[in-house]
Copies of this chain bind each other. A is one copy, B any other.
Amino acid sequence: MGAENSISPFVVKRLPRYYRYLGGLIDKGVTRVSSKELSEIMNVTASQIRQDFNQFGNFGQQGYGYNVQYLYDEVKKILGLVQHYSMIIVGAGNLGQALANYDNFTRRGFVCAAMFDSNAKKVGKKVNGIDIFHSNTLECYLEKNPTDIAVLAIPETQAQLVAQVLYRHNIKAIWNFSNTELEAPEGVCVENVHLMDSLMTLAFNVRKR
């Protein structure tokens, strides 16, 4: 693989934000942007922006700014959004259903092919066109359907057990909403979403004022 192997994790965290803002500029018909303008919209320093973009190539010209569409396409490539990812959601509760209904994922190439739940009342229903299967068919499903990403929208008490099943079937990425840190074998990426952390950060910032 190319340059992206050496990109720092901090830059990786910022890439989706760049992608979002550049997409917004394209929607507004903006074709060129300077690091200074981008820094004002994004609330990051201009030198930070130049440093970030320098990490994956030479995109800008001094005094001339960045070509918005080109930069957008490059960030998209680096993020791996030019390919499709097959996805399943384990847990068809409110959160699982909210995620299944989120059409932005599909638009970005994340295609949710199936949902799983242990509640028999939910099995056989559809959410946003996606079938809900019983959790006890998960292994059988994975044997027949190679899957890139599994979303865990289940309670923390079940998360590690389900994760073991996923690892056995060579899932390479877990998007974990289950409020616990998963132990993952080498080669599996886990992205934990800790909503509580975000709310606590907000509380801290409010109190400080």
Contact assessment for B200 and A15 in the assembled complex, using a CB-CB cutoff below 8 Å:
yes
Which B residues are CB-close (under 8 A) to A205?
A: 12, 173, 189, 191
Contact assessment for B195 and A102 in the assembled complex, using a CB-CB cutoff below 8 Å:
yes
Contact assessment for A175 and B199 in the assembled complex, using a CB-CB cutoff below 8 Å:
yes
Contact assessment for B149 and A206 in the assembled complex, using a CB-CB cutoff below 8 Å:
yes
Question: Within 8 Å of chain B (Cβ to Cβ): is A120?
Answer: no
Which B residues are CB-close (under 8 A) to A204?
A: 4, 12, 15, 78-80
Q: Binding site of A, secondary structure by majority: helix, strand, loop or mixed?
A: helix
Contact assessment for A179 and B104 in the assembled complex, using a CB-CB cutoff below 8 Å:
yes
Contact assessment for B189 and A81 in the assembled complex, using a CB-CB cutoff below 8 Å:
no
Question: Within 8 Å of chain B (Cβ to Cβ): is A124?
Answer: no
Which B residues are CB-close (under 8 A) to A161?
A: none
Of B102, B148, B198, the contact of A191 (CB 8 Å cutoff): B198
Contact assessment for B191 and A201 in the assembled complex, using a CB-CB cutoff below 8 Å:
yes
Contact with B along A169-209 (1 / 0, CB 8 A): 00011010001000000010101011111111111111111
- For the complex, what is the distance from the CA of A193 to the CA of B98, rounded to whole Å? 14
Contact with B along A47-84 (1 / 0, CB 8 A): 00000000000000000000000000000001111010
The stretch of A16-24, A31-39, A132-140 in contact with B is A16-24
Chain A interface (Cβ < 8 Å from any Cβ of B): 1, 4-5, 12-13, 15-17, 19-20, 78-81, 83, 85, 93-95, 97-99, 101-102, 104-105, 108, 110, 148-149, 172-173, 175, 179, 187, 189, 191, 193-209
Contact assessment for A203 and B85 in the assembled complex, using a CB-CB cutoff below 8 Å:
yes
Contacts A16-B196, A105-B196 hold; do A206 and B93 have CB atoms under 8 A apart? no
Which B residues are CB-close (under 8 A) to A193?
A: 195, 198
